[in-house]
Structure 1
Amino acid sequence: MNRVMDELRGKYPDAEARLIDLAEQHMQFADGRGYLEYEGDTGDVARALMEADAIIIGTPIFQASIPGALKNVFDLLPVNAFQDKVVGIVVTAGSPKHYLVAEQQLRPILAYMKAQVVQSYVFIEAKDVYRGELVNDDAALRIERLVEDTVTLTRAYSQMREEREAQYAF
């Protein structure tokens, strides 16, 4: 995700971006309350996601599934949390056998939450990373394309939304 942030800041310096690392947050488990009722890190993360125009989710795959921490974040939010938001996906996994986790688990959740998901997600295997650095040039190019597509789609959907809202006289 650091590579994603570097790419975003380098090509789109005017874009407001924030990296949220769930490992650094003290998150409460979702208990059915509205997201605005949570305080501390949990409330901050939920509100940041609800206020964002676009989101790029970076997640590892553990035991052939998305991590529970990520699922918990989804559980904190309302069903339509990602309506009118563009969502890109970056997945890392230890095995090429896990490439479909994003397709079969993450995409359906995002679609249910009404996200506009960027068509191509980035799948990175453990062999593509050495000592925390991305060493696969193809993966770097796919990240570059994901960032470009996310920004382009966000701008397009924003313009479409503005045109739609302009049709109403209030």
Structure 2
Amino acid sequence: MKVVGLSGSKVGSKTRTAMNYTVEALTKKYPDAEVTLIDLAEYEVQFSDGRNYKEYEGDTKYITQTIMEAEAIIIGTPVFQASIPATLKNIFDLLPVNAFRDKVVSMLVTAGTPKHYLIAEQQLKPILAYMKAQIVQTYVFIEEKDFHRKEIVNDDVLFRIDRLVEDTVLLTETYTEIRKKREEKYDF
């Protein structure tokens, strides 16, 4: 199973910290999974200009192709100005409309205040649904108070990350099995 962890911001450390915990939990619990962590802060990504994602070069091509080849994607995003970051939105814009068809996508959101918990519901989930993702309905919301010196200090958050990883893998395995059975019905 190919899983991509996408840390969707070029600034800050909390989302990357949470994604590190997530990837660690994933590789520990599911050692056979092929896990790739993409932190957008480490790449130079071009702005979407409407081309097919395969026509881009360099980091942009690497990121889009890696996402397109994945079976599951765990998106980590901070909330800036009551919205997802432009860097993450740009990734969505670089991909085709059906980019997440037959892919499971789960979310992890970091924010400075509990008032931003609906950003995932009102902004991120509609984009993912439009792009045909099988969305893990529960997501992990992490507040400023849950971090201390680039570490997560709230055990409940760690538990929720573990559960998110389990739900993502279970849903991916389930959809893979359903697709396999559906394809076996056809005799070609």
Same-fold call, TM cutoff 0.5: yes
Look up the equivalent residue of 1:61 and give its one-letter code.
Answer: V
Greater strand content: 2
Aligned to 1:37: 55
* CA distance in 1 between partners of 2:70 and 2:32 (Å): 15
Aligned to 1:124: 142
* CA distance in 2 between partners of 1:41 and 1:59 (Å): 19
* CA distance in 1 between partners of 2:54 and 2:187 (Å): 30
How many residues are aligned here? Answer: 170
Equivalent residue for 1:72, pick from 70, 90, 98: 90
- Stretches of structure 2 that go unaligned for 5 or more consecutive residues are 1-18
* CA distance in 2 between partners of 1:159 and 1:13 (Å): 20
Look up the equivalent residue of 1:67 and give its one-letter code.
Answer: P
Aligned to 1:27: 45
Aligned to 1:89: 107
User: Moved runs in structure 1, 4+ residues, more than 4 A?
Assistant: none
Look up the equivalent residue of 1:85 and give its one-letter code.
Answer: K
Aligned to 2:27: 9
- In the superposition, the TM-score normalised over structure 2's length comes to 0.90
* CA distance in 2 between partners of 1:49 and 1:6 (Å): 19
Matched, 1:49 2:56: no
Matched, 1:98 2:98: no
What SS does the corresponding residue of 2:37 show, helix, strand or coil?
coil
Aligned-residue CA RMSD (Å): 0.4
Output one character per residue of 1:94-122: Cα deviation in whole Å (capped at 9) or x when no partner: 01110000000000000000000001000
Q: Percent same amino acid at aligned positions?
A: 67
Matched, 1:151 2:178: no
- How far 1:164 moved relative to its partner? 0.7
* CA distance in 2 between partners of 1:76 and 1:169 (Å): 36
Look up the equivalent residue of 2:75 and give its one-letter code.
Answer: I
Look up the equivalent residue of 1:31 and give its one-letter code.
Answer: D
Aligned to 2:6: none
